[in-house]
């Protein structure tokens, strides 16, 4: 879960970040003292799940910021934070998703997060098939991605097995011939497409994005490749020699899996 914390007073911002972190230790919390850099981060592809923002901000009040956030990241939940409860009327006229009064306490933040994001079943995972061709499913249905490159982006991150990779590494893999003139902009578009598809099935936390680094949470993925690495005999038996066959960059991992299976058969 990616959460933005916005407050122009450093002490209040630190308090807000601490409360969010205590309420949701697994969250990635990004702190901002102004609206403009927060909006720039969204434009750069960092789509927050929730935005906790002070209503009174220099240069752009929180109500205006909320409108801009919802325009740029429609799925983001906006929670207003203020020392003035009277702002609640204006906040909810904007259809705000939540409201917290200062001083911010972790228990109150937890209440808002529980209301905004009802806990999914513990067994819910994204189902990924790597042996043969790469395919992604949730609830028995293929993940609806608008672009084939978005699928390849996810495939490359799955192949990295939770390891982070930079935008340059992704560009080298996805566009080996350098056919894309502005890979950074195209990569932002693919990231937004992938995140929206994952969020649509309640699996937005699978994708982890921080600045110029990407990764996936392997604990939220059920994958034949991961199970083989763990030594699962059924997964080993299901590997017949092909791994993500539609992607040339997967050949190195294919070779490692062949070597791994031969060693398992010898043992």
Over residues 74-101, the mean pLDDT reads 73
Contact 242, 131 (CB under 8 A): yes
Task: State the average pLDDT for the chain.
Answer: 86
* Site of tokens 């608008």: 146
Identify the pLDDT of residue 216: 93
Gyration radius (Cα) of the chain, Å: 21
Residue 216: what are its φ and ψ, rounded to 5°? -125, 155
Q: Give CA–CA dist 163/169, Å, rounded.
A: 12
What mean pLDDT do residues 21-29 have?
87
Q: Cis omega (within 30 of 0) on the bond before 108?
A: no
How distant, in Å, are the alpha carbons of 78, 81, 91, 99 from that of 84?
A: 17, 9, 11, 11
Mean pLDDT of the region 34-38 = 90
What percentage of residues in the chain have a pLDDT greater than 70?
A: 89
> Which among 71, 247, 38, 223 has a CA at the least distance from the CA of 136?
223
Q: Virtual CA dihedral for 141, 144, 147, 153, nearest 10 degrees?
A: -70
- Helix, strand, coil abundance in the chain, percent, nearest 5: 50, 20, 35
The stretch 58-87 carries a mean pLDDT of 78
Domains, the chain, with CATH or none? 2-116 (3.40.50.2300), 126-266 (1.10.10.10)
Could you tell me which residues come within 8 angstroms of residue 139 by beta carbon, excluding any fewer than 6 positions away?
A: 201
* Chain mean position to CA 186: 17
pLDDT of amino acid 221: 93
Q: How many angstroms separate the CA atoms of 263 and 228, rounded? A: 13
Question: pLDDT tens for residues 182-237?
Answer: 778 888 899 999 999 999 998 988 998 877 889 999 999 999 999 999 988 888 88
- Of the segments 87-91, 236-240, 245-249, which one has the largest average pLDDT value? 245-249
Categorize the per-residue pLDDT at 26 as very low, low, confident or very high, splitting at 50, 70 and 90: confident
Q: What is the pLDDT of residues 142-159, one digit of tens each?
A: 999 989 999 999 999 999
Entry pTM: 0.58
Kindly indicate the confidence band of residue 267, based on its pLDDT and cuts at 50, 70 and 90: low
**pLDDT value, residue 89:** 47
Give the pLDDT confidence score for residue 152 in this predicted structure: 95
Residues 100-134 have pLDDT tens digits of 888 999 999 999 998 888 765 454 789 999 999 99
Which of 47-61, 85-99, 173-187, 248-262 is most confident?
248-262
Residue 16 burial class via C-beta count within 10 angstroms: exposed 0-12, middle 13-18, buried 19 and up:
buried
User: Pairing relation of β-strands 2-6 and 50-54?
Assistant: parallel
């Amino acid at each position: 879960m990616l959460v933005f914390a916005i407050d122009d007073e450093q002490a209040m911002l630190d308090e807000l970040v601490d409360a969010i972190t205590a309420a949701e230790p697994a969250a990635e919390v990004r702190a901002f003292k102004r609206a403009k850099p927060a909006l720039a981060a969204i434009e750069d592809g960092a789509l927050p799940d929730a935005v906790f923002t002070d209503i009174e901000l220099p240069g752009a009040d929180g109500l205006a910021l909320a409108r801009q956030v919802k325009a740029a990241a429609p799925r983001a939940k906006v929670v207003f934070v203020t020392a003035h409860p009277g702002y609640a009327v204006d906040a909810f006229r904007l259809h705000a998703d939540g409201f917290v009064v200062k001083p911010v306490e972790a228990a109150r933040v937890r209440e808002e997060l529980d209301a905004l994001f009802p806990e999914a079943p513990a067994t819910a995972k994204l189902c990924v098939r790597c042996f043969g061709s790469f395919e992604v499913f949730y609830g028995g249905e293929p993940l609806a991605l608008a672009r084939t490159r978005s699928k390849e982006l996810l495939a490359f991150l799955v192949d990295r097995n939770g390891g982070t990779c930079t935008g340059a590494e992704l560009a080298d893999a996805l566009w080996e011939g350098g056919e894309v003139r502005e890979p950074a902009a195209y990569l932002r578009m693919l990231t937004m497409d992938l995140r929206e598809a994952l969020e649509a099935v309640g699996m937005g936390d699978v994708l982890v994005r921080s600045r110029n680094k990407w990764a996936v949470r392997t604990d939220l993925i059920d994958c034949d490749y991961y199970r083989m690495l763990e030594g699962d005999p059924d997964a080993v038996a299901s590997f017949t020699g092909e791994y993500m066959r539609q992607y040339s960059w997967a050949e190195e991992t294919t070779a490692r899996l062949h070597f791994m299976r031969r060693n398992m058969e010898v043992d």
